[in-house]
Amino acid sequence: MAGLFDAVNLAKRSLMAQQWALTTASHNMSNVNTPGFTRQRAVLEAFKEPLEIPGGLIGMGSDVGEITRLRNRYLDRQVLDERQNQGFLEFENTALSQVETILGETSGYGLSGVLDEFWSCWSDVANEPENTAVRVALQQKGEQVAQNLNNLYSDLITQQKELDQQLSGYVNEINMKAAQIASLNDTIAQQVSQGFSPNDLMDQRDLLIDGLAKIANIEMQDESNGSTSIWLGGQILVYKDSAQQLSLKERTDSLAKVHDVVWAGSGNSVNLQSGEAAALLFVRDEVIPELMSGLDQFAVALSSQLNALHSTGYGLDGSTGNNFFNPDTTGAADIALSLEVSQDVAKIAVSADGSVGNSDIANQIYDLQNELVMNQNTATLGGFYASLATDVGALKQTAEMELMESDVSMQQLENWQTSAEGVSLDEEMANLVRYQQVYTAMAKFLNTVDEMLGVLINIG
């Protein structure tokens, strides 16, 4: 009779095993649309304590060894690497588009068009040197050139400040996610030490890690106690239940008063090489300053070259030695018309000798647009400025092409990841049927054992 009771235990154990397998499949299906959820599987195995009988040992059914996540860490690392690259390119593309918008060349309202009109105004003055209306038009166009340069410089500084504000948001997000990962590490490690597999908590942690990878260049390593360590730029960010914090340090060499990202503990700079934060720093600290430097060079050259000619000529009132632009110009931020020209259009020098009808100075200034006065006498003023805008456009075009390639790679990796780790409703439905069939069979077996026990009891 003891053997029949053992059979009852076998059936009960096996029924429970199939029930947990069914529950796991149902859990998978209910989370098919949950972001970051990893498919789980009940690992069924033969019960480890067989029954000793006269003929030897006989198995005692099945049991659930563990509920495991079907996670592919090699694939996860590939996804993280590409996520960082994609994050960099997406942010770079967006930020460069904003810089292009500031320049205005793609919309046809940029400085290049204003410059063309400015040179044309000198031609008009050369043709009609005594026409006050033509002189006023030149004065206004010169003021527009200066104002455009002022605005470009100011807008680029504003763009740097806005990017700096976004950087603060990224630092806060990294700190928050790092703290959450450390907290999950602690909870997960405790449960692992008790022999459990906290799969859903591990999914939450992996989702946070994936979010970090979008922002910065991180690496991860699974530890033996169930925790995951995170490195940022080669330095430890999260280790077990401890998370390092980042902070911002204001730079003293920036007009925009931007900040560097540093480790809160040591004050050392954080090495950001990929992800959205790295792209932000690239545009803020390299692209925009280089563009601003180019604008400064252009403004100084335009002012000095034009003034050198203008100061030798004569105005309509016979005055000479006047500058067209402010001679104290140091860059795009402060270029402006000279006080003389801004107050009196008669001070605009057109004649080389003061005689009526002579327009030699105006013609020389008009021809200045074709002179090689930039980049060690290898580029014209207009060509130099155009190259500044073209360089930004080329960077954006490269970023767009690389982003398209990254999107394709990311899509392929995510498809592989979904296939390996995601939930397939068809597969889970098939598992449900399989587990249900075994459950039904074991229920029939238990019913048979019950009948056999009834027979024995009646005999007694």
pTM of the model: 0.89
> Residue 336 is encoded by which pair of tokens?
């402006």
Specify if 390 maps to a domain. no
Which residue would you say has higher pLDDT here, 321 or 110?
A: 321
The structure tokens listed for 171 are 């630092």
Among candidate residues 126, 330, 385, 163, the one with its CA nearest the CA of residue 258: 163
Q: How far apart are CA 335 and CA 147, in angstroms?
A: 8
Alpha helices in 37-131 (DSSP H): 73-103, 111-127
The candidate with the shortest Cα–Cα distance to 70, out of 24, 5, 3, 134, is 24
Pick from 378, 403, 431: which residue ends a domain?
378
387 falls within a domain: no
**Of all residues in the chain, what percent carry a pLDDT higher than 70?**
94
442 or 91: which leads in pLDDT? 91
| Res 1 pLDDT > 50 | no
Categorize the per-residue pLDDT at 304 as very low, low, confident or very high, splitting at 50, 70 and 90. Answer: very high
Segment holding 371, helix H or strand E: none
Tokens representing 402 are 């690389």
Q: What is the DSSP letter of 320?
A: B
pLDDT value at 2 more than 60: no
What's the whole-number mean pLDDT along residues 321-334? 97
In a domain, 245, yes or no: yes
Q: Note whether 55 and 133 are same-domain residues.
A: no
Q: What is the pLDDT of residue 12?
A: 80
Task: Enumerate residues 6+ apart whose C-beta is below 8 A from 343.
Answer: none
Look up the domain containing 121 and give its range.
77-378
CB 20 within 8 A of CB 42: yes
- DSSP code string of 206-242: HHHHHHHHHHS-EEEEE-TTS-EEEEETTEEEEETTE
Contact predicate 177/356, CB 8 Å: no
Residues 50 and 104 in one domain: no
Q: Tell me, yes or no, whether 95 and 44 share the same domain.
A: no
Of 321, 344, 378, at which residue does a domain stop?
A: 378
Q: Is 412 contained in some domain?
A: no
Residue 401 lies in a domain: no
Return mean pLDDT, the chain: 92
Structural domain includes residue 413: no
Q: Are 365 and 374 in contact (CB under 8 A)?
A: no
Q: How far apart are CA 18 and CA 14, in angstroms?
A: 6
Residue 429 lies in a domain: yes
CA angle 71, 77, 78 (to 5 degrees): 110
- End position of a domain, from candidates 323, 358, 378: 378
If asked whether residues 332 and 285 sit together in one domain, one would say yes
| One domain for residues 231 and 159 | yes
Q: How many CA atoms lie within 13 A of 424 on its CB side?
A: 13
Q: Is 354 left (phi over 0), alpha (psi -120 to 50) or beta?
A: left
| Same domain (yes/no): 204, 278 | yes
Instruction: State whether 57 and 82 are in the same domain.
Output: no
> Does residue 286 fall inside a structural domain?
yes
Distance between CA 348 and CA 351 in Å, rounded?
9
The tally of domains found in the chain comes to 2
Single out the residue of 360, 420, 335, 381 nearest to residue 147, CA to CA: 335
Mean pLDDT across 5-12: 73
Q: Is 140 helix (H, G, I), strand (E, B) or coil?
A: helix
26 shares its domain with 119:
no
Both 183 and 200 in one domain: the answer is: yes
Q: Are residues 344 and 211 in the same domain?
A: yes
From residue 270, alpha-carbon distances to 84, 172, 240, 347 in Å are 16, 14, 21, 56
Residues 65 and 84 in one domain: no
Q: Do 147 and 128 fall within a single domain?
A: yes
Q: What is the pLDDT of residues 33-65, one digit of tens each?
A: 999 999 999 988 877 776 666 665 666 677 888
Distance of CA 144 to the CA centre of its chain: 36
Dist. CA 14–CA 435, nearest whole Å: 11
Please report how many Cα atoms fall inside a 13 Å half-sphere around the Cα of residue 60, on the Cβ side.
20
Tokens, residue 136 = 């006023």
CB 449 within 8 A of CB 7: yes
